[in-house]
Structure 1
Amino acid sequence: MRKVAHDGRFPVTGTNNKFDNGEYIYRYRPINSEHLISEIQNNELYFPDRSSLNDPMEGQVRLNFHGDEIIWTNFLNNYALSVLWCAHVFAIDGQNPNFDKRFVRPDLTVEKLPTKEFQDLYYEFLNLLKEDEDYIEAKKGLHTRGSVTDIELRIHFRALHSAFTNILWALFYEKGLINHRSSTRNIRDFLPDGIEKHNLYETLNALEAEHPENHHKFKEALFAVQRQMFEELRVRSIYNIHIEHGKPHQAFSTMNVTFSDDYIDQLVATLYPDWSPVCFSRNCTNASMWGHYASGHQGICLQFKPTKNEGREYINFKNGTSIEVSDVEYGEAYPALNYFEHIGSSISVHDLIEYWLTKDGKRSCVYSKYFDNEDQWRDLYWKRFQQLSNFKFKDWKYENECRTIRRVMSDKDRLWNYNQQHLTGIVFGMHTPDDKVIEIIKAIAEKHYDGTLGEFSFYKANFSSQGNSMQIMEFQNMTKFAPKDK
């Protein structure tokens, strides 16, 4: 290391080459975080709940639904079971405004219902549905659609939901589970004039046949109008509920307005185990990143050096686990997959076969996707997981992000301690307050005194008017700490 300059100032270097060679990754940190010093002292990485991240589409996937009549029938029956479950919760605790989509259970099976009476109620409900025109139409129509997109499925299920709930509320009234009957308007009443309202499946099939080259544009326009109509209906319904009850009432909103969307959202949630990323960047010289993630250049940037093995990078943790560092892929469209071929990990093999892939002793065509070559299916399943967990829309490309990803079993399992060897430096922002600089240096000094510090440097970020870019300057002798007072 260089000696201290004669005037007592720490000499610095202004090159950015060290930060552009791919050897390091960086983690921007806000200066006002109450856990910042603990992160530095204890080598902590926190795996957050994805809902707390600033990109609401983390883990987004373009679902489509492609199967035969067997799996579509089982799908409709699963939806009916979930409607019954939530309606029962609503009937018991309908005055609780905190009823929300967590009660929507696409992983539910009739075997999991708590009592035989409850199971009998489901079969009675299902028998009533089998005589309903909308249910019969859906059962026949959905599997003729080929590949149904997420957006289209929401339209079909919104239309079906009013039929399902009207039948169910009548059954509940008959059984004495509720003291008044209620009804819900059919969402298809809100389709624009000129659109066939009685058999949307046939209308869409005809549209695709008549316009093979550009039917996607026509369908997109149709779905956009319907989505706008539904959103208006949803807001109006929630407003009316608010006026009636004097406060927002999530139970009414969920059961009568948003249930079908909540159900499909929960399908995505059951595709893969709950996962969480710790996010890094490949550079520490992006002014926007300093502004967004480091308290407007008042924060810091932690410099990490991953271990490398056969061309892959890893962060090693004190519990003996190593997690690979993967680069985020940026693109125009989120990964697509057929839901019926990737039914989530929360569903057991027994439930998968009994309630999804077979019906009356017959197997769905999707059955072979799972069981003809189970190893191949498993490899594809996790390959798709890697794709969706490391994908972001192109607007985020400026972040140049890489990340470590792991399953999170509970909130108590989110904080992990990495090996000290990975933390090799700290970059102070252009406006990091002096008192925070001193506090952070003291935290690193403690590591020096207890012999755990290893390779380490301090840096300062500045803006170069000559180069019109962020420049990182290294303090050459900052880690030559004076002996600790006894």
Structure 2
Amino acid sequence: MTDREQAKPSLDNGNFLFRFRSAKALLDDDDNGGFQELEKQAIYFAKPEQLNDPMEGLSDAFWDGDDVLWENFFKHYALALISYALKWLLHEPDEIQKAKVDAWLTAEDLPTDMFRNLYREFCSDLSSAIEARELAQILGRRTLPLRRERLINLLFLVHQAAVPSLFLILKKHRLVDFELPPEAADTKPVKTTLECWEEIASAPSKIDMPVEEQLEVLSSITNRVSHQLDLGVLTRIGSIDEGHKLLALISRFPEMYVDAFSRDLHFNPWRVACFSRRCTNASMWGTYGSEHRGAALIFRTEQREGEHYFRIKGMAGTADSGADLKVHNVEYGKRPPPLDSFNVIGRLPLHKLKTTWMVTEDGRASTRLSEMTDDLDAWRTRYWNHAFKRVSWKHFDWEHEEERRLVASSVLADDPAPEALTYDFSQLEGLVFGMRMSSEDKLRTASIVEKKCRATGRTDFRFFQAYYSPSKGEMDIAELGLLKFDIGK
């Protein structure tokens, strides 16, 4: 008997991860709707939008810039809008969702001289129409930063001037044969709204709510009304697809742009694999363990300097030997972590960051530039801390899950794990059978494990059975000490 068999580690010592899976996912092949995860030693890393929480990856983003950043912000909005509009013209109504807003785009990324000239002309006209420099100065002096709802609200007002100006230019260059009424281009509502916000921010509050939250609520109401009006438009247009296409450009673009800003400019695309700290929560088994008919995989982690790591193989940009991913404890709270949007534009090369965002065409530099360049190493440390805080926050509603997660991300690929990643069999400590797992599925599971144990010479693989403990009044697990393999035969 080995030393490891004599002193089996406790599953409660914090060194293990539990992953609930259905029997189908673990055992069945593709033809039967499964993934053979146990046979292939595979862990699927999901995109944020594939997870069951719509708030995954959410951050409390705010935009706090001086006049240089805001002036460049309006120019970039014009760039993203004309780029999207040209794709919008080419896509059929039933495929308009494929036309994406590209916030990573810079002027030097434009493919042709004609495209660059169109952008310069549109940017000049829009800047004049909305008096962009004056707006930037007002925003640079504001008392409170803009959060998501207020920024969308502001851009929706700007958009009313931008779209007519855009179509005048597109018609001039014979890219469309119609235009929108030029009288729609009016910058007064933008200035009036900014002045109203500033007046509210500087006046004593009359209600028991922080003034910043008051402004977000007001803007949120306005934005929700806009969404309701959009639904009204769809009910009056014969073709739903035509309606969606129209609204995408005319109404929804400001919100799509704000979301694209966070998606394209802040952090690299990421995927996540979810685990739990323990496996005796009946609700977790019901949700993720196929109504207790599945199993929980027990993974062993490696502890170094107070942190836990798990080696995976197959992630983009890593060696064949794999990479050690840090185990992140999910932090539960009422609000996601705050994020200074202008200070975490980390996906652009420094020269593009400067020319697109931090320095104006006439050479004026933003005061925020030095916050990054004075100590790049310190900025990078803060940047990655923000990145992992964002992907390891969840609302209090999920606290019962006691979640731990692995995050796959790479600066070398837009998708770090398009296929399931793999692990060594030695990292799999054991399995817990669900209370309703069938005997047939248990035998199929044991058969796969036995084959792997024989191939690797393992004698220490552990099986457990989940059950209800009357004495504890709760779910518990018991080790199946008699379920062993004689690998010598």
TM normalised by structure 1 equals: 0.88
Give, in angstroms, the shift of residue 249 of structure 1.
5.0
Q: CA deviation at 1:176?
A: 1.4
2:239 corresponds to 1:245: yes
Say whether residues 1:257 and 2:221 are aligned partners: no
Please state if 1:315 is matched with 2:310. yes
Q: 1:212 offset after TM fit, Å?
A: 5.3
1:438 Cα shift?
1.1
1:97 to 2:94 alignment: yes
Q: What's 2:352 paired with?
A: 351
Structure 2: how far apart are the matches of 1:471 and 1:478?
Answer: 18
The residue matched to 1:78 in structure 2 has which SS? helix
User: Structure 1, residues 169-221: CA drift from partner, whole Å, max 9, x if none?
Assistant: 122122211122235997999xxxxx987611111111111125842354244
Q: Residue 361 of structure 1: SS of its match in structure 2?
A: coil
Of 427, 430, 442, which aligns to 2:432?
427
SS in 2 for 1:450: helix
Residue in structure 2 matching 1:297, options 274, 277, 292: 292
- How far, CA to CA, are the matches of 1:313 and 1:351 in structure 2? 37
**CA deviation map 1:228-266 (0-9, x unaligned):** 2112122223444xx333546543222112111111111
Return closer, same or farther for 1:122/1:277 CA change in 2, 3 Å cut-off.
same
The one-letter amino acid paired with 1:123 is: R
Q: Deviation per CA, 1:135-180, whole angstroms, max 9, x where unpaired?
A: 4663343222241111110100011112101111122122211122
Within 2, Cα distance between the matches of 1:102 and 1:142?
30
Which residue of 2 is the match for residue 226 of structure 1? 222
Is 1:39 the counterpart of 2:37? The answer is yes
Question: Post-superposition shift, 1:472?
Answer: 0.5
Contact 1:25 1:281 in 2 (8 A): yes
Q: Which amino acid aligns with 1:109?
A: T
Partner of 1:9: none
Q: 1:286 aligns with which of 281, 293, 296?
A: 281
CA contact (8 A) 1:19 1:284 kept: no
Q: 2:317 corresponds to which residue? A: none
Alignment of 1:42-121 (within 5 A): 42-91=40-89, 93-100=90-97, 103-121=100-118
Aligned to 2:402: 400
- What are the ranges of 5 or more consecutive residues in structure 1 without an aligned counterpart? 2-16, 190-194
Query: Which amino acid is the alignment partner of residue 355 of structure 2?
Result: E
**Residues 391-449 of structure 1: CA distance to partner in whole angstroms, max 9, x if unpaired?**
11111110001111121533765422212221011101110122111111111011122
- Does residue 1:145 correspond to 2:142, yes or no? yes
Contact 1:66 1:148 in 2 (8 A): yes
Structure 2 counterpart of 1:119, one-letter code:
R
With over 3 angstroms needed to count, the CA separation of the structure-2 counterparts of 1:64 and 1:473, relative to structure 1, is: same
1:390 matches 2:392: yes
Q: Secondary structure at the match of 2:219?
A: helix
Shift of 1:454: 4.8
Is the alpha carbon distance of 1:296 and 1:326 closer, same or farther for their aligned partners in structure 2, counting shifts above 3 Å?
Answer: same
Residues 188/180 of structure 1: CA separation in 2 closer, same or farther (3 Å cut)? closer
Q: Deviations over 1:278-337 (max 9, x none)?
A: 111100000110010011111100011112222221112352321121211111211112
Read off the aligned partner of 2:262 and give its amino acid letter. V
Query: Which of 17, 35, 48 pairs up with 1:25?
Result: 17
- Assess if the C-alpha contact under 8 Å between 1:428 and 1:460 holds in 2: yes
Partner of 1:450: 455
Indicate yes or no: 2:176 matched with 1:181. no
Query: Paired residue for 1:159?
Result: 157
**Which of residues 332, 338, 343 is equivalent to 1:341?**
343
Match of 2:318 in 1: none
2:308 is the counterpart of 1:306: no
Q: 1:452 to 1:307 in 2, by over 3 A?
A: farther
The 1:247–1:68 alpha-carbon spacing in structure 2 relative to 1, beyond 3 Å, is closer
- Taking the aligned partners of 2:428 and 2:245, their CA distance within structure 1 comes to 48
TM-score by length of 2: 0.87
The residue that corresponds to 1:474 in the other structure is 479
Residue 230 of structure 2 aligns to a residue whose secondary structure is helix
Question: Aligned to 1:200, what secondary structure does the other structure show?
Answer: helix
The one-letter amino acid paired with 1:232 is Q
Higher relative contact order (CA 8 A, sep 6+): 1
**1:366 aligned residue (356, 365, 368):** 368
Counting aligned pairs with the same residue, the percent is 27
Task: Please name the residue that 2:201 is paired with.
Answer: 208
What's the counterpart of residue 6 of structure 2? Answer: none
Structure 2: gaps spanning 5 or more residues: 2-8, 314-320
- The verdict on how the C-alpha distance between 1:473 and 1:37 changes in structure 2, with shifts beyond 3 A counting, is farther
| Closer/same/farther in 2, CA of residues 197 and 368 from structure 1, 3 Å limit | closer
Partner of 1:377: 379
Q: Distance in 1 between matches of 2:369 and 2:190?
A: 34
1:268 aligns with 2:270: no
Offset of residue 361 of structure 1: 1.1
| CA distance in 2: counterparts of 1:184 and 1:432, whole angstroms | 67
Q: For the Cα contact (< 8 Å) 1:290–1:429, is it kept in 2?
A: yes
Please say if residues 97 and 249 of structure 1, whose CA atoms lie closer than 8 Å, have aligned partners that are also in contact.
no
**Deviation (angstroms), 1:68:** 0.8
